[in-house]
Structure 1
Amino acid sequence: MQEEILTLARTLSGPGEDEETALALLCKAAEKEWTGRLREGVGPEECREAFLCAAALSATAGLLAGRSGMRFTAGNVSVTEPEGGKSAEALRREAERLMGPYVTAAEFRFRGVRG
């Protein structure tokens, strides 16, 4: 799955030659993260399309967050943003939305509960 995630992330992020290694590592980390968050009894193959997209979006978000003066190109459309963080956050939210039915909540904590 890692190669498929990397292919999708390349399409989304348009990495420069100097970003390829970082993107590959981010894809590997995203795959591990999403695999670890899957609900019990759910495997990556059971939610394949959402899993691949979410991992690619997460890796792309990581890459964009590290860029300054981010430029995102998809086909004939280019968007330039002085802060890559805003776009990165939107990608993370989309990944969460896609995987919502298959994962446990991120960073869920009980507060103020006495037990």
Structure 2
Amino acid sequence: MKTFIATALAVGLLSASQIAFAAPAPQTVNIVVNADGLDLARASDMRRLRNRIADAAAEACDPSDRMIVTPMPDYQCRRAAVASVEPMVQELAQAARSGRMARR
């Protein structure tokens, strides 16, 4: 039986500073990543969830409305953001595989 989660995964993303020398400490941003329709016991759905997380990290780290000092994407910020939620993703996947995932 497939376990679908209809909940959203709240992702705390760290946004790196945009100006190297004049910026204050990194900013914490919370983004919601939807996991509707995904069965986290399946590898293909785990890839979909990770893709959604990567897309959210890209938007948080390189928002389209920011004043861009350099046109290069902030890959360091993206990696840090994705890494910060990986333990939560692993926990959700383990719960789905063991059948402990609650349905909504």
Q: Same fold (TM over 0.5)?
A: no
TM-score by length of 1: 0.31
Q: Which has the higher helix share?
A: 1
Whose strand proportion is higher, 1 or 2? 2
TM-score of the aligned structures, taking structure 2 as reference length? 0.34
